[in-house]
Every structure is written in C-alpha cells, then in structure tokens.
Amino acid sequence: MPMKKRLPVLLLLLSCLASQADTAARPNIVLVMADDQGWGDMAYNGHPHLVTPQFDKAAREGLRFDRFYAAAPVCSPTRASVMTGRTPNRMGVFKWGYPIRPQETTIAEVLRENGYRTGHFGKWHLGSVRNASPASPGANGFEVWASAPNFYENDPIFSFGGKAQQTRGESSMVTVQLALSFMKKAVADDRPFFSVIWFG
C-alpha cells in the first residue's frame, strides 16, 4: 500500500481490517459529528431533558467508542485529528480555519485504497472545497463529496465534487439524504463504504 508517511496506529488497524479479502467481512463505517455537541448532550448519556431517539438507537445497535476523545476544544483540529489519527501538534491544524496539510494520510485515503467507497457530506472546515485545492475532500480520499467549507444554513450551497450547487430543505435533512443516497448506491454496487456526515 503506498503511504505518504508512517501510518498512525488507528489508520494501520483500519488498513488491516479493510484489506480483508472477503468483502462481506468488511464493516460499513458511518462517522457522524456535530459541532458544539458535548458528551452529555445525549439522552443515552443521561441528559435529563434532551430527547435523542435516533442517537439512542445507534448507541444501542452500533459500535460505541466511549473513550474517543476530541483532540481539541474547537472544530478544525478535532476534524483533522479524526481524519488523520494525529494530534494537532503533529498534523499542524492548531485552531479553527487551518487547512489540512497535503502530506497527511487520512482514514478516507486508507479505506479507499482498500476498496471502500468514500463519501463526505456536510461541514468540511479543513480548507477549501474547490476541486483543485489540496485541502479539498477529494484530495483527501473522498470519491464523492457534498461539502460546505464551514457552517451551513437551510437550503445549503454544497460543493458537489468541486462544483457549487444550491440544495433545498432543512440543512441536516439535506445532508442525511445525500449521505443515504451514497450509502444505498455503495450497497447496490456491493462495495463497503465509509460515509462521513458532519453537521453544522
């Protein structure tokens, strides 16, 4: 497998998992992140007032990482750490608005090299979402992307593979519908998928 540099342990483990010859044994991976949402902001973690039935169901039925800590208290470094498996001091995204460096190896690149379909939907905030940018989702391992450079409102304008397009609807629902279409196509094509859904 070609590597830009030595892989962090998390990416190395995912690479081993993804390279299994039996595609049926490869898990589909959905990574969901929301801005400004704390650990305790979920009913399944004991919040006394918030109602989160879909997240509660995902927590019951999916694989939970209860010690999956954010690498920073703000957006961009957290996103870059999730994508690279590295701390801000190692991968150079120190605060919000910093772009991901082209020399970083991302989880999307590792999985794509091992036969996964990869898609990013929603907030990127790791640099430009223009097709030619070395910080775009496409330059960082995503085959398909409908991404906003930062926070997005209702009727969001997304970069679809580098081309700006207006969408219609409540922003979270638009994001989910785009991700679901991507996942359904991957299933129909009998390919494991990595779907990143980052809400604003």
Q: How confident is the model at residue 35, as a pLDDT?
A: 82
Q: Evaluate whether residue 190 is within a structural domain.
A: yes
Question: What CATH number has the domain bearing residue 91?
Answer: 3.40.720.10
Structural domain for 152, as ranges:
9-18+29-36+68-199
Reported in sequence order, the residue ranges of 18-173 that DSSP labels E, i.e. its strands, are 29-34, 117-123, 144-148, 157-160, 163-166
Catalytic residues: 75, 125
Q: Evaluate whether residue 144 is within a structural domain.
A: yes
Q: Evaluate whether residue 57 is within a structural domain.
A: no
Average pLDDT of the segment spanning 97-114: 95
Q: Evaluate whether residue 51 is within a structural domain.
A: no
Q: How confident is the model at residue 178, as a pLDDT?
A: 98
Domains of the chain: total: 1
Q: Evaluate whether residue 88 is within a structural domain.
A: yes
Query: For 53-103, how does the pLDDT look when each residue is reduced to its tens digit (9 = 90+)?
Result: 988 998 899 878 787 777 888 889 999 999 999 999 999 999 988 999 999
Query: For 142-159, how does the pLDDT look when each residue is reduced to its tens digit (9 = 90+)?
Result: 999 999 999 899 999 999
Q: Evaluate whether residue 172 is within a structural domain.
A: yes
Q: How confident is the model at residue 17, as a pLDDT?
A: 61
Q: Evaluate whether residue 89 is within a structural domain.
A: yes
Average pLDDT of the segment spanning 18-32: 75
Using an 8 Å Cβ cutoff, are 168 and 154 in contact?
no
Global pTM reads: 0.85
Q: Evaluate whether residue 160 is within a structural domain.
A: yes
- DSSP designation for 24: G
Query: For 122-137, how does the pLDDT look when each residue is reduced to its tens digit (9 = 90+)?
Result: 999 999 999 999 999 9
Give the residue from 102, 197, 99, 91 showing the smallest Cα distance to 144: 197
